[in-house]
A and B are shown apart, each in its own frame.
Chain A
């Protein structure tokens, strides 16, 4: 291991506190849903949703980097896993969300409320 082992344990707990803090913020926002974030729109969904997504990606980064020891692996091995996942997932999600939106626009007006 490249670092001293003591600092590894400390770092693990640090990351834990950060992840917990992020989760608490997410849950608080999820319960209170401030109108200024929840009822406005930005790039296709509400700013509140964007905050959730960004915080979730931050948590995912923390877990992968620190807990799964990705930071200790060689650069291109990291990239062979992470870049593949990000590319394929982004592509699929983009296509499917555009499709879902189209389906709503087409089929939505046909529903009798």
Chain B
């Protein structure tokens, strides 16, 4: 009868589901596992969609270690290092979390508190780093031109050694280095656009920022400097590098230029195909949101630990359940890291 009729109880084990333990697992722990399973399927859906889109554009997808090259406070190009640091931070916070759970099994309140605190700090460092990555991504590093064909043209130049000679790689080919717009664009805007401020705007409203350079300006600078060549989005599948166009072909493509793209947003980005930025924001955003909610929940449980709630309860299972969620967040990151940055 009790399976389908509500029976009055003393309320002490309301959240326990009546103390039944199928598979020896408590109600709360089993439900956390099933939630994790469903959330894992959600992320797999996103990553699978990313995989489909990448396969669809396999010969023109941006190359990750040409996009994510910065470290905070340090100038220069360091592909992959900061993302590797973020991965370590999250793994380490997972370790402190499981150590907290372990201390909870031994009913060591202070240890649990310290390890949870370390986990929260690790989480905050990760979220802060991800926010910084977004900022750098949105701000952009090089700048590019978008053509009427919908293609993104980036700029590159042969790498030179200290004597000004072209560097050749192992097969005797010229090594190219991507170059920023600021490094070669000179001269006047030539298109009379400017950002209005309160002083000279008739109706001053915030709106689309005018880019720093105009298309005509970029085209003129390209013509003036014979060392500049254009990198197309297309990948040479034999070398897995972006194809560099000859000066003539580059000029042809540049003539179709429609707007200068600096940075990235949901509509256009300087790294290549629009959908690359869309997926980046969506998937890392979803993951970052999970990390953030994990941090908030960890803080709540941290305070509960300090208040002695779990000592009174006689077990630290809540720490364990929250630990499961935190490890899930780490797991997702391990896969996102692989499929966005490595593969």
- By the criterion CB–CB under 8 Å, are A92 and B48 in contact? yes
Mark contacts of B29-60 with chain A using CB atoms, 8 A cut-off: 1 yes-contact digit, 0 otherwise.
01001101100110011001101111111111
- By the criterion CB–CB under 8 Å, are A100 and B327 in contact? no
Mark contacts of B294-338 with chain A using CB atoms, 8 A cut-off: 1 yes-contact digit, 0 otherwise.
000000000000000000000000001001100110110011011
Given A5-B102, A97-B55, verify A68-B48 contact (CB < 8 Å).
no
- By the criterion CB–CB under 8 Å, are A56 and B65 in contact? no
Residues of A within 8 Å of B342, CB to CB, are 26, 29-30, 49, 52
The answer for the CA separation of A56 and B214 in the assembled complex, in Å, is 44
Given A30-B342, A63-B94, A67-B94, verify A100-B56 contact (CB < 8 Å).
yes
Mark contacts of A1-35 with chain B using CB atoms, 8 A cut-off: 1 yes-contact digit, 0 otherwise.
10001001100110010011001101101110000
User: Which chain B residue shows the least CB distance to A17?
Assistant: B95
The answer for the CA separation of A31 and B80 in the assembled complex, in Å, is 7
For chain B, the bracket of interface size reads 35 or more
Total contacts A to B, CB within 8 angstroms? 147
Residues of B within 8 Å of A76, CB to CB, are 23
B84 at the interface (CB under 8 A from A): yes
- By the criterion CB–CB under 8 Å, are A30 and B331 in contact? no
User: Which chain B residue shows the least CB distance to A99?
Assistant: B52
Mark contacts of A70-110 with chain B using CB atoms, 8 A cut-off: 1 yes-contact digit, 0 otherwise.
00011011000100110011001100110111011001100
Looking at the complex, which one of B30, B243, B327 makes contact with A68 (CB distance below 8 Å)? B327
The answer for the CA separation of A79 and B48 in the assembled complex, in Å, is 23
- By the criterion CB–CB under 8 Å, are B102 and A39 in contact? no
Residues of A within 8 Å of B94, CB to CB, are 63, 67
Residues of A within 8 Å of B52, CB to CB, are 96-97, 99-100, 103
Given A49-B343, A52-B342, A92-B48, verify A81-B37 contact (CB < 8 Å).
yes
- By the criterion CB–CB under 8 Å, are B23 and A74 in contact? yes
Mark contacts of B91-122 with chain A using CB atoms, 8 A cut-off: 1 yes-contact digit, 0 otherwise.
11011011101100110000000000000000
- By the criterion CB–CB under 8 Å, are B23 and A67 in contact? no
- By the criterion CB–CB under 8 Å, are A85 and B41 in contact? yes
- By the criterion CB–CB under 8 Å, are B55 and A104 in contact? yes
- By the criterion CB–CB under 8 Å, are A85 and B327 in contact? no
Residues of A within 8 Å of B19, CB to CB, are none
Given A53-B338, A74-B24, A85-B37, verify A103-B92 contact (CB < 8 Å).
no
User: Which chain B residue shows the least CB distance to A58?
Assistant: B334
The answer for the CA separation of A100 and B59 in the assembled complex, in Å, is 12
Can you list 14 pairs linking A and B with CB atoms under 8 Å apart?
A8-B102, A16-B91, A16-B92, A23-B84, A27-B81, A45-B343, A56-B334, A56-B337, A63-B331, A74-B24, A100-B54, A100-B55, A100-B58, A104-B58
Interface residues of A (CB under 8 A from B): 1, 5, 8-9, 12-13, 16, 19-20, 23-24, 26-27, 29-31, 38-39, 45, 49, 52-53, 56, 59-60, 63-64, 66-69, 73-74, 76-77, 81, 84-85, 88-89, 92-93, 96-97, 99-101, 103-104, 107-108, 111-113
